[in-house]
């Protein structure tokens, strides 16, 4: 006997005739507990899938200065000063030899309107700790610089054209113009400076060309065996921290 379609489905799926909307309350207690856990798990998963909006981190600011000025302060022991000399020896091509020290200290101090404060802006190099590459000798450097009488050389900054104030994070390129004091003699010198700054620190280098004779130094010479050119390069690797006046919160960029 042929069954109608509805009768066939009723026989194959007898529960279909009893289908009604799902109600957890009609389930046995154990099955209701399972259903509740399933619903709770679904709710948790749904909540975790929602996008989470994190609070924006506060911008990092420079340490606060107490005098209303901007201080770029050399980190003790982290910077290096160098004199690079050109040496000629008999039968060999000229080559560079370097005398260096990490006994470097100082500050570059600016007003908020970008003027250098010379009274507080000086870089000091302790030349008694200079160590030299061959064929130069440490004793030669001490004699040339007369370190027993003039233990330090000093650069006093007068201006810093190109240095942005307020300081902005990123690459910087500017000059430090001021007075170089070596062996008690003062000459105007310009250091070309470049590096990278954050709101908290500056790292870079400065470079200037000097002449020994400008500071009363006679370039070393041992006849045809060895001679040193009058011109030399003064370099400083800078690692410095930055402190600045407090900035009102309304003026701090998000």
200-215 pLDDT, tens digit each = 999 999 999 999 999 9
What pLDDT, on a 0 to 100 scale, did the predictor assign at position 36? 61
Same domain membership, residue 148 and residue 42:
no
The half-sphere exposure of 25 on its side-chain side, counting CA atoms within 13 A, is 1
- Mean pLDDT of the residues in the chain: 81
Same domain membership, residue 180 and residue 97:
yes
What pLDDT, on a 0 to 100 scale, did the predictor assign at position 63? 76
What is the CATH number for 160?
A: 2.40.128.110
Same domain membership, residue 222 and residue 152:
yes
Residue 117 has pLDDT above 90, yes or no: yes
Judge whether 5 lies within some domain: no
Judge whether 58 lies within some domain: no
Same domain membership, residue 180 and residue 204:
yes
Three-class DSSP labels, the chain: CCCCHHHHHHHHCHHHHHCCCCCHHHCCHHHHHHHHHHHHHHHHHHHHHCCCCCCCCCCCCCEECCCCCEEEEECCCCCEEEEEEEEEECCCCCEEEEEEECCEEEEEEECCCCCECHHHCEEEEEHHHCEECCCCCHHHHHHHHCCCCCCEEEEEEEECCCCCCCCCCEEEEEEEEEEEEECCEEEEEEEEEEEEECCCEEEEEEEEEEEHHHHCCCCCECCCCEEEEEEEEEEEEEEEEEEECCCCHHHCCC
Same domain membership, residue 88 and residue 188:
yes
Same domain membership, residue 107 and residue 27:
no
61-65, 109-113, 133-137, 162-166, range with the lowest pLDDT: 61-65
- Number of domains the chain is built from: 2
What pLDDT, on a 0 to 100 scale, did the predictor assign at position 9? 38
What pLDDT, on a 0 to 100 scale, did the predictor assign at position 33? 59
What pLDDT, on a 0 to 100 scale, did the predictor assign at position 220? 86
Judge whether 168 lies within some domain: yes
Same domain membership, residue 134 and residue 32:
no
Judge whether 12 lies within some domain: no
What pLDDT, on a 0 to 100 scale, did the predictor assign at position 64? 80
Q: Give the structural domain span for 138.
A: 65-247
Same domain membership, residue 38 and residue 69:
no
Same domain membership, residue 76 and residue 195:
yes
In the chain, % of residues over pLDDT 90: 56
């Amino acid at each position: 006997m042929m069954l109608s379609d509805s009768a066939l489905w009723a026989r194959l799926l007898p529960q279909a005739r009893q289908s009604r909307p799902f109600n957890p309350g009609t389930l046995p207690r154990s099955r209701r507990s399972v259903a509740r856990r399933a619903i709770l798990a679904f709710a948790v998963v749904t909540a975790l899938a929602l996008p989470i909006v994190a609070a924006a981190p506060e911008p990092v600011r420079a340490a606060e200065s107490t005098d209303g000025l901007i201080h770029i302060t050399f980190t003790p022991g982290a910077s290096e000063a160098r004199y690079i000399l050109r040496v000629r020896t008999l039968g060999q091509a000229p080559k560079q030899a370097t005398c260096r020290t990490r006994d470097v200290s100082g500050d570059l101090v600016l007003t908020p309107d970008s003027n250098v404060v010379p009274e507080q802006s000086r870089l000091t190099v302790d030349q008694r700790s200079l160590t030299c590459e061959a064929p130069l000798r440490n004793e030669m450097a001490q004699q040339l610089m007369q370190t027993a009488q003039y233990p330090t050389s000093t650069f006093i900054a007068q201006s810093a054209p190109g240095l942005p104030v307020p300081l902005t994070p990123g690459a910087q390129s500017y000059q430090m113009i001021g007075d170089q004091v070596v062996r008690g003699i003062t000459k105007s010198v310009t250091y070309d400076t470049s590096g990278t700054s954050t709101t908290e620190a500056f790292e870079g280098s400065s470079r200037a060309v000097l002449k020994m004779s400008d500071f009363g130094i006679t370039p070393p010479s041992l006849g045809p065996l060895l001679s040193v050119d009058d011109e030399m390069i003064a370099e400083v690797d800078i690692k410095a921290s930055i402190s600045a006046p407090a900035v009102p919160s309304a003026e701090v960029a998000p």
